């Protein structure tokens, strides 16, 4: 079972999401919270696998709560929920380590697929906002950090392909490698650059003018 925690200050919205999630045999809602501060305690007690986190809430917003939650050992994956296609808050949340964001009016099937995807280690971004998101990160490229120099030539090649959004299978086919080898390269790249997942890898590439 994938253990899910819902965090939103609107009880009616939480109830709707709870019904959708609870209808699935492999998903279970194990906790709810109405603000970010409460969410930190609920997530810790519930041992959540995935957190659906609203961005704008009273007491503590979703960005601050996400940053605190992801500092914990065995932290869950966090998906931000937002009403807008893209704003600075969503971008900041991804910088803090969120595994992506969804629009609150997303199709229920897409929401369920997103929960399963992030639980398996992937990342999700509202499709309509992908171009705008990475354009936002690419507006002001910064100096490339020294950690990037630690990548081997092969790792830089894999990095460039992953930054373009290619999957492990697509990279493997293109580079005549096994998927297991690509996965190992991606893991090493993320470790060297201190990145949490592939979303952060793509953001890193756009922020530093590498994509």
Alpha helix locations (H) across 70-152? 88-95, 108-119, 130-137
Decide which of 136, 159, 184 is a domain's last residue.
136
Residue 24 contacts residue 72 (beta carbons within 8 Å): no
Find, among 194, 198, 168, the residue nearest to 183 by Cα.
168
Decide which of 136, 159, 182 is a domain's last residue.
136
Is residue 97 located within the same domain as residue 132? yes
pLDDT of residue 36: 93
Decide which of 81, 103, 136 is a domain's last residue.
136
For 106-156, how does the pLDDT look when each residue is reduced to its tens digit (9 = 90+)? 889 989 999 998 898 777 776 555 555 655 555 555 677 888 989 999 999
Find, among 150, 137, 144, 99, the residue nearest to 120 by Cα.
99
Is residue 92 located within the same domain as residue 172? no
Residue of 106 and 4 predicted with greater confidence = 4
Is residue 117 located within the same domain as residue 157? no
Domain hosting 101: range is: 2-136
Is residue 57 located within the same domain as residue 125? yes
Residue 62 contacts residue 55 (beta carbons within 8 Å): yes
* Cα 194 to Cα 21: distance, rounded to the nearest angstrom: 32
Residue of 135 and 167 predicted with greater confidence = 167
Strand partners, 4: 29, 50
Q: Dihedral sign, CA of 62, 101, 192, 43? A: positive
Number of folded domains in the chain? 2
> Which position has the token pair 């910064």?
142
Is residue 25 located within the same domain as residue 118? yes
Alpha helix locations (H) across 78-178? 88-95, 108-119, 130-137, 153-163, 168-175
Q: Dihedral sign, CA of 202, 165, 116, 107? A: positive
Is residue 130 located within the same domain as residue 27? yes
For 39-94, how does the pLDDT look when each residue is reduced to its tens digit (9 = 90+)? 999 999 999 999 999 988 989 999 999 999 998 888 999 998 887 655 567 777 77
């Amino acid at each position: 079972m994938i253990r899910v925690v819902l965090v939103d200050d609107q009880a009616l919205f939480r109830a709707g999401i709870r019904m959708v999630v609870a209808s699935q045999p492999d998903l279970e809602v194990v906790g709810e919270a109405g603000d970010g501060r409460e969410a930190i305690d609920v997530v810790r007690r519930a041992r959540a696998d995935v957190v659906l986190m609203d961005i704008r809430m009273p007491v503590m917003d979703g960005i601050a709560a996400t940053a605190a939650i992801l500092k914990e050992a065995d932290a869950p994956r966090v998906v931000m929920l937002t009403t807008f296609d893209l704003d600075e808050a969503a971008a900041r949340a991804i910088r803090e380590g969120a595994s992506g964001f969804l629009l609150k009016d997303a199709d229920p099937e897409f929401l369920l697929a997103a929960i399963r995807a992030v639980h398996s280690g992937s990342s999700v971004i509202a499709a309509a906002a992908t171009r705008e998101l990475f354009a936002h990160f690419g507006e002001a490229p910064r100096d490339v950090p020294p950690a990037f120099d630690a990548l081997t030539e092969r790792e830089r090649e894999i990095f460039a392909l992953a930054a373009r959004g290619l999957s492990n299978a697509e990279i493997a086919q293109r580079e005549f490698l096994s998927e297991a080898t690509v996965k190992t390269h991606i893991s090493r790249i993320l470790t060297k650059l201190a990145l949490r997942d592939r979303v952060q890898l793509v953001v890193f590439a756009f922020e530093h003018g590498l994509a």
